[in-house]
Structure 1
Amino acid sequence: MFISVSPVLHCRLMLLHLSCITKGEKPFRHDPHWSSCRETNQELLQTNMHDFTSYPVLFQTFLQGMNCRSPPVLINQSNVSNDTFLLLAIKSTPRNFEQRQAVRETWGREGVYPGGLRVRLVFLLGSSPLEDPDLSPLLSFEAKHYGDLLQWDFRESLLNLTLKMNMLLQWARKSCPHASFIFSGDDDVFVNTPALLRYLESLEASKASQLYVGHVISSANPLRDPKSKYFIPLSFYDGPYPAYAGGGGFLISGALLQPLYSVSRMVPFFPIDDVYIAMCFKALGVTPEAHAGFQTFDVKEQDRENLCVHKDLLLIHRRSPQQMKKLWTGIHSPFLTC
C-alpha cells in the first residue's frame, strides 16, 4: 500500500509515522504554540541528517517544520457547502490581489452553471514574507467583501505549498465535504470552466470516483543542484518521483477527499507539493491520468493568441490578469467562429 523508497530520511519518517499510528499515537504535532513546534524537530534532524547545516536556508526551514501541521487560522470560511459540484481551490499569496480579482471576474465566478452545477471558489493564502508590507487590513476587507479567502499563519514560500495543500484537505473535509470534484491550481492559470464542467459531466461513475487528472509528468528525478529552487538532497530522498499531475492545476474526485486526507497523515511532507500529493495518491493505489486539455507548460508560441485553440482546452499556464480577461471574453464571444 505504501511507497517504497530508499532508507533515507523521508522513508525513515514514514516508518516512524506508521509506528506512531500503530501505537495509537499522533505522528504530527498539534501544538497550540505553533512557533515552538519547529524547535522540537531539531533532535530528529541532527540524528538523521549529518549534513543538515549544509543545505540552503529555505530547505532547512522546511525540514524544521515538516512535522508541524496545525498553523493558526487567520481567515476562515466556515459556512458548509452541501451542494457543490466543483470546488475551485486556488493557491495565491497576500500580494496577488490583481490575480485573484481576474479569476473572480472570469473563470472562477461562483454560482450555478448550466445543468444546475454549482461552483465554489476559495483562495489559499499564507502570511506575507517578512520583507513584504503587512497586508492584513486589506486582506480582512477582501475576505469580508468576497467571502472566498482562507489564510493560515505560516510564511509564504515555495516549500510551504505542501503545507498549504494539506490545509486545503483539512478545510475541505469539514466545510465542503460533499463536493463532487476539486480543482487545485495556481492563481496565474486560465481555466475554461464551462469546458471543464462538460468534461466532468461526461465521466462514467467509476472513473469519476477515482479521478486524478491533469498534465502528467512521468519518470522525473530529484534535482541535486543546491542552487535549484527544486533542490532535493540525496540524504532526504532517493529514487525517482512517482508520476504526478503538474501543480499548475489538476482535478481530483471529491470521493477521494477523506481517503486522501487520511493517508496524508502517514506520508511525511515533501517540499514539492505536486510530488507530495502524488505520493499520497500512490499510497491509495490511484495513478494520475493525462489529459491533453491541461497545458501546464503553455501552448505553442504561434497559438498563444489563437482563441479557437484555447476554446477547446481546459487549462493554460500561465496567463496575466489582463490576458485572462481577454481570453475569457474572446472564447465566449458569440462572434467567435472556429
Structure 2
Amino acid sequence: MSELSNRIPQNIGMQSQPDKAVLSPYSGFFVSLNVMHYHRHHRLTPQRAKVLIRVSIGMFLALLLLFLVVYTVILIYVDKHFNPPLLKSPNSYRKLKLKGRLAAAIGPKDVGYYEITNALLLLHDGAVGAKGDIFGENGHRKQVWNPSLYYTVNETVAQCRYQTLFRVLIISSPEHFEQRQAIRQTWCDPANFSQVPQHAWHCVFLIGQTMNNNHSSMLQSEKALHQDLLIGNYLDSYRNLTLKVIPGFTWSVNHCPCSYIVKTDDDCFVNAGLLYAFLLHHNPLARGLFVGNIVNDKSKLKVNRGPRNRWAVSHKDYPGKYYPPYASGMGYILSMDVAQQLVTESNFVQPIPVEDAYVGIVMSRLPVRLTDSKRFQLTQSGLSLCNYVYVFIVHEVASGEQHILLKKAQEAWLSCNQDSIVSRW
C-alpha cells in the first residue's frame, strides 16, 4: 500500500515526501483525486461551449428586441406630440402621407425650369375626376404632394409663444437682407404704431435654399439673431414660389396658430396698425375670409404656355385654358379657418409654378367667396397722405421707402379726419 501511494503522486507529476510526518500516504492520495475531480467537472467541453453560445445569442436577441420596442414607442410619442399630421379634409375618406424627407431640387436657374422633382409626386393609374382629382380603385382621393415635406417639422419661431391677432408671411429671397431689416424696423414692429399691444402681430420671412455658401452662412446668423426666418427644403427661385407659400401656410396652421394670416412680399408696405384696428373692431368676416386685389380680367387669367416664359405652365400640370379668379400675390388676407381648408385641399391639387394662380385654383374648389378690395394697392403712385387711413398693403416699395411710408401712415392717423375711416373691405 505504501508503494502504491508513492507511485500515484509520481504519475500525476507530484513527488511524495515520506520523510515528513505531516504528509501521509492517505493525504497525498486525497489531494490527487481532488485535483482530478476538479478538472474533470469544470473544463469547457464542446457541449458546454454550444450551450454558452446559445444562451449568449438568446440574451443578445432579447436585449435587441427590447431596444427596438422602446425605440419604436419613443418615435411614436415624438411623432404624435411634435409632428402633428396634416388637417383632414371633410371631403376625403383617408389621408395619404408621403414617406421620408426630400432635399431641395437643385437644377438650372433657367426661367423655364420648374424645380419640383418627380420624386415629390405620387404616380397613379387611377381615374381622374372632373376637378382633376386622382381616384384609386377604392374611390378615395389620392394625395399628389405633401407641402409639409418642404420645411423642417420642428422649426420654431419665438413669436409663436404669444397669442397674436395676425401673422404676416413674407416672401423673401436669400440675398434680400436689406429688405428684411427695413421691414423689421418699420411696419413689422407694433411699437411703431400707437395704442397697439406689444405682440399684436408678428412677421415670418419665407426663404428657400441657396447655392451661395456666403449667403447661406449669413442666413443662419440672421435666423439665430432674429428668429423670424422659415428656411424651406427647396431651391429658392421664382418658379418655386408655390413651394414657398403653401408650405408656409401649412407650417403656420399646424405649428403657429393665430386668428388671421396675411401673405405679402418683401417689396410691400403693410399698414399693420390700421389693419390691426380694422380686424379687431370692424371686420365683418371673422370666418370664411379671403380678401385681396382679385384678378378677374380674362386676359390676365389666360394660362401662358410659352416654353421659356417665367409664368409658363404646361398642359400636363394645368389643362385649363384660363385660371379661376385669384388674389394678386402682392398681398391677401385669410381667416384661420380658410387657411386650414386651403392647406388640406392643396394636398390634392397638382402644384404649378404660378403661386397666386395656384392659390386661386385651390380656393375655387372650396366653399369660400373671394372678396375684392381696393385697400390692396399695386403701386404707391398717386396715393395721398390721407389714403393711408384706408390702404392696407402697398406694392412696389423699395427698402429705403419703408420708413417713408411708415411716417405717412403715422401722420395720417393723427392728421386726417377720423370720420373718413372706412369700416368695410
User: Could you tell me the TM-score, scaled by structure 2's length?
Assistant: 0.61
- The one-letter code of the counterpart of 2:170 is I
Larger RCO, structures 1/2 (Cα 8 Å, 6+ apart): 1
Q: Distance in 2 between matches of 1:246 and 1:95?
A: 24
In structure 2, the partner of 1:13 is none
State how 1:246-285 maps to structure 2 within 5 Å.
246-285=328-367
- The one-letter code of the counterpart of 2:309 is S
> Is 1:230 equivalent to 2:299 in the alignment?
no
Q: Give the one of 58, 61, 66 matched to 2:115.
A: 61
Question: Any conservation in 2 of the 1:75–1:150 contact (CA below 8 Å)?
Answer: no
With over 3 angstroms needed to count, the CA separation of the structure-2 counterparts of 1:330 and 1:110, relative to structure 1, is closer
Q: Distance in 2 between matches of 1:57 and 1:65?
A: 21
With over 3 angstroms needed to count, the CA separation of the structure-2 counterparts of 1:292 and 1:235, relative to structure 1, is same
Q: When the two structures are aligned, how many residues end up with a matched partner?
A: 291
With over 3 angstroms needed to count, the CA separation of the structure-2 counterparts of 1:135 and 1:196, relative to structure 1, is same
Q: Distance in 2 between matches of 1:239 and 1:142?
A: 43
CA deviations 1:132-157 (Å, max 9, x no partner) are: 44322221221121111110231111
In structure 1, the partner of 2:100 is 31
In structure 1, the partner of 2:234 is 154
The Cα of 1:261 is off from its aligned counterpart by 1.5
Question: Any conservation in 2 of the 1:81–1:175 contact (CA below 8 Å)?
Answer: no
- The one-letter code of the counterpart of 1:169 is F
- The one-letter code of the counterpart of 2:248 is L
Question: Any conservation in 1 of the 2:388–2:412 contact (CA below 8 Å)?
Answer: no
Q: Distance in 2 between matches of 1:29 and 1:114?
A: 46
In structure 1, the partner of 2:259 is 180
Q: Distance in 2 between matches of 1:311 and 1:286?
A: 28
In structure 1, the partner of 2:379 is 298
Q: Give the one of 173, 192, 195 matched to 2:271.
A: 192
In structure 1, the partner of 2:327 is 245
Q: Distance in 1 between matches of 2:368 and 2:393?
A: 22
The Cα of 1:235 is off from its aligned counterpart by 4.1
With over 3 angstroms needed to count, the CA separation of the structure-2 counterparts of 1:33 and 1:212, relative to structure 1, is closer
What SS class does the counterpart of residue 150 from structure 1 fall into? strand
The Cα of 1:61 is off from its aligned counterpart by 3.2
Is there any run of 5+ residues in structure 2 with no aligned partner, and where? 1-88, 122-144, 417-425
With over 3 angstroms needed to count, the CA separation of the structure-2 counterparts of 1:189 and 1:75, relative to structure 1, is farther
Q: Percent identity?
A: 25
Question: Any conservation in 1 of the 2:102–2:233 contact (CA below 8 Å)?
Answer: no
State how 1:1-338 maps to structure 2 within 5 Å.
24=94, 26=96, 29-34=98-103, 58-62=112-116, 64=118, 67=121, 69=147, 70-71=149-150, 73=152, 76-79=155-158, 80-81=160-161, 83-110=163-190, 114=195, 116=197, 118-128=200-210, 130=211, 132-177=212-257, 179-203=258-282, 207-218=285-296, 219=298, 220-237=301-318, 238-295=320-377, 297-299=378-380, 301=381, 303=382, 306-333=384-411, 337-338=415-416
Q: Distance in 1 between matches of 2:250 and 2:208?
A: 15
Q: Distance in 1 between matches of 2:190 and 2:394?
A: 20
Is there any run of 5+ residues in structure 1 with no aligned partner, and where? 1-17, 39-55
Q: Distance in 2 between matches of 1:268 and 1:311?
A: 40
- When structure 1 is superposed on structure 2, of 74-83 and 261-270 the one drifting more is 74-83
Q: Distance in 1 between matches of 2:312 and 2:328?
A: 17
- When structure 1 is superposed on structure 2, of 259-268 and 119-128 the one drifting more is 259-268
Q: Distance in 1 between matches of 2:362 and 2:412?
A: 43
Question: Any conservation in 2 of the 1:78–1:175 contact (CA below 8 Å)?
Answer: no
Bigger Rg, structure 1 or 2: 2
Q: Distance in 2 between matches of 1:161 and 1:145?
A: 25
The Cα of 1:180 is off from its aligned counterpart by 0.8
Q: Distance in 2 between matches of 1:92 and 1:269?
A: 20
CA deviations 1:96-122 (Å, max 9, x no partner) are: 110001111111115697364721211
In structure 1, the partner of 2:41 is none
- The one-letter code of the counterpart of 1:267 is V
Q: Distance in 2 between matches of 1:76 and 1:197?
A: 26
The Cα of 1:236 is off from its aligned counterpart by 3.3
The Cα of 1:259 is off from its aligned counterpart by 2.0
Task: Name the structure with the higher strand share.
Answer: 1
Q: Distance in 1 between matches of 2:373 and 2:413?
A: 28
User: Could you tell me the TM-score, scaled by structure 1's length?
Assistant: 0.76
Q: Distance in 1 between matches of 2:194 and 2:233?
A: 34
Question: Any conservation in 2 of the 1:212–1:253 contact (CA below 8 Å)?
Answer: yes
With over 3 angstroms needed to count, the CA separation of the structure-2 counterparts of 1:135 and 1:33, relative to structure 1, is same
- The one-letter code of the counterpart of 1:298 is T
